[in-house]
Amino acid sequence: MEISFHNNMFSLLLLLLPSLSFSPSAWAACNAVDKEALLGFKRTITADPSRLLQSWISSTDCCTSWKGVACNSVGRVVNVTRSGLVSDDDDLLDTFMNGTLSPSLGNLSYLQLLDLSNLKNLNGPIPPEFGKLRRLTHLFLNSNQLTGSIPATFKHLSRLERLFLNNNHISGIIPFSVIGSLTALTELGLSENQLRGSIPATIGKLVLLTKLDLHANNLSGSLPTTIGKLKSLKYLDLSQNTIKGSIPKSIGGLSALVLLDLNQNQITGSIPSSISGLISLQFCRISENKLTGSLPPSIGHLPSIQRLILENNKLTGKLPATMGHLVTLTELFLSNNRITSKIPSSFSNLQNLQTLDLSRNHLSGELPTELAKLQNLQTLDLSFNPLGLVSIPKWFAKLKLFRLMLAKTGIRGSLPRWLSSTSISTLDLSDNALTGNLPPWIGNMTSLSLLNLSNNGLHSSIPAEFKNLRRLMDLDLHSNKFSGNLDTIFSKGTDDPIGHYNSIDLSDNMFAGPINDSVLQSSAMDSITSLVLSYNLLKGSIPKSIRKLSELRILKVVSNGLSGKIPVELGDAMGLTTILLSRNNLMGSIPGKVINLNELKEFDVSHNQLRGEIPPHKAIIPVSSFIGNPGLCGAPLPPCERS
């Protein structure tokens, strides 16, 4: 759900903006000081693969012949634009330069715009001489490898309107004196650097500021109360820092604010009631913080809000009925808090709501039937709330849901048949008390891409109709009482390009029989990354066709009745990171090709009947992964006896 104005988007926007154009002078040649300043920069560039500076030749006029350079009528350079994103006949060319910023650029005393953004490999510090560019209005150095601190001399750039240094390796603090001096700034981008310390209180002097992006730094301290003075501010992104303290009441003064992103900080305290002053706010994300207290009733007075994301905090109390006034709301995320009581019936007024995630709270009581009015709702997640549903309410059938998650909500009994006539693509009913069979009508749910029925009491074999789930890609049936063989699951149909499994977890059931060699070669299995079959009643050997599962990362077949050898072909699944085969009846030796897979992190073949010397291996594997095999020897077990 990233929405910040990040990285390359800045440079792309710059290309689309009307350029500051200056007609080359027909009567004044390029000033000698300016020409030498630009040549000084060219000399510090060690690689220019797209020849952005090829036309910069000392024998030609820099005002009329040098690409990316514009002059005024008296031959002074006012615009230097050599970005790594270059517009060329309606196409965007993406290139780079190696080198450093020359202090000589500080001699361009008439310069108004300097754009060296997105060159990727410009490194070294920003020369303090840049502080001499008193006429500069636009400075774009974003998306490079620049280091060092923000020069204190920047305080002299009093005409600067747009400053982007984001996506570099700039460190140190944000200088208070610099921020307090740049009173003409309308946009400031310092994100994705290594800046530390507090946000200067002098930020309140930048009353013309419309965009402030400081995300992904190491900023700490609290939000300055002066931030409420930025009456023109539309975009405020301070996410991914370590900002502490509470949200100041003054934030309610930001009546022009459209985007507020404080995600991933350490903000404490409650949401101030003054939040109702954010009358232009469309996107609000204050998730992954340490907010406490109740949601203020005034939060229902945000007339423009579309996305409200407050998940992963410590919010308590009830959901205010006033939230039913947020008729523009399309997404509401409040998961993983400590919110109590019932869902207000006023939520039925949220006619534009597409996503409602209230999972992992302490909600209880009956669900209001009025929620059936939410005809635009696509995702509903009420999982891990003590709702005591007993059954899924029948009025859910009136909704047009794509994703329904009701894990651990107290559902009992059998699966309701009305599910068969829905277009649900994600269904999670795990951690409930479902019983009975997996019904044949499950095959009618042809839109399913994820099915999680784990941790229930379902039994029976998998019905033949399961093969109709041609879009299913993630299946979790672990911890039930399913029986029969695995063929129906592994050989289901696909609906190319979708329907190829990503993950299967069938552990802790009663599946029996061998793993059929041919079904592992079905098209549904060809891109699986995680296959978990532990704690069943499987017999037979590990099929050699497992070598065909080229995307496999995780294989867990613990505590079955597998016999035979560990196939050397398992080593052809080059991406494997986890192989757990403990507590079976495997025999023979451990293939060196398997234990030496490049990506292997976890390997356990304990409690089998393996014999011989453990092959030398690079992965750090504990003794416990080999014990229970009396015939095994060699590191990390005791050395083999030599006859």
Q: Which residue has the tokens 């991933």?
A: 264
- With a cut of 70, say whether residue 31 has pLDDT above it: yes
Arithmetic mean of pLDDT over the chain = 94
**Torsion angle of the four alpha carbons 106, 108, 110, 115, in this order, in degrees rounded to the nearest 10:** -80
In a domain, 308, yes or no: yes
pLDDT of residue 90: 60
14-28, 202-216, 401-415: range with lowest mean pLDDT: 14-28
In a domain, 381, yes or no: yes
In a domain, 567, yes or no: no
- With a cut of 90, say whether residue 4 has pLDDT above it: no
Would you place residue 234 in the very low, low, confident or very high pLDDT band (cuts 50, 70, 90)? very high
- With a cut of 50, say whether residue 560 has pLDDT above it: yes
In a domain, 114, yes or no: no
Would you place residue 354 in the very low, low, confident or very high pLDDT band (cuts 50, 70, 90)? very high
The model's pLDDT over 380-438, given as tens digits with 9 standing for 90+, comes to 999 999 999 999 999 999 999 999 999 999 999 999 999 999 999 999 999 999 999 99
Q: Which residue has the tokens 């500069």?
A: 136
- The CATH number of residue 345's host domain is 3.80.10.10
Q: What is the mean pLDDT of residues 259-285?
A: 98
Q: Which among 595, 602, 593, 601 has a CA at the least distance from the CA of 617?
A: 595
SS (H, E, C) 513-553: EECCCCHHHCHHHCCCCEEECCCCEEECCCCHHHHHCCCCC
How far is residue 438's CA from residue 420's CA, in Å, rounded to a whole number?
12
CB count, 10 Å around CB of 324?
18
The model's pLDDT over 153-183, given as tens digits with 9 standing for 90+, comes to 999 999 999 999 999 999 999 999 999 999 9
In a domain, 341, yes or no: yes
Q: What is the DSSP letter of 639?
A: P
- With a cut of 70, say whether residue 1 has pLDDT above it: no
The model's pLDDT over 42-52, given as tens digits with 9 standing for 90+, comes to 999 999 998 99
With pLDDT > 70 as the criterion, what percentage of the chain qualifies? 95
How far is residue 194's CA from residue 121's CA, in Å, rounded to a whole number?
17
The model's pLDDT over 299-328, given as tens digits with 9 standing for 90+, comes to 999 999 999 999 999 999 999 999 999 999
In a domain, 585, yes or no: no
Would you place residue 28 in the very low, low, confident or very high pLDDT band (cuts 50, 70, 90)? confident
In a domain, 606, yes or no: no
- Transcribe 598-622 into DSSP letters: TT--EEE--SSEEEEEPPP-SS---
How far is residue 536's CA from residue 560's CA, in Å, rounded to a whole number?
5
In a domain, 356, yes or no: yes
Is the separation of the CB atoms in 567 and 587 below 8 Å?
no
Q: What is the mean pLDDT of residues 521-528?
A: 95
| Domain containing residue 359 | 293-387
SS (H, E, C) 273-290: HHHHHCCCCCEEECCCCC
Q: pTM for the full model?
A: 0.91
Q: Which among 171, 176, 178 has a CA at the least distance from the CA of 195?
A: 171
Q: What is the mean pLDDT of residues 511-520?
A: 92
Segment holding 564, helix H or strand E:
strand 563-565
Would you place residue 643 in the very low, low, confident or very high pLDDT band (cuts 50, 70, 90)? low
Number of domains the chain is built from: 1
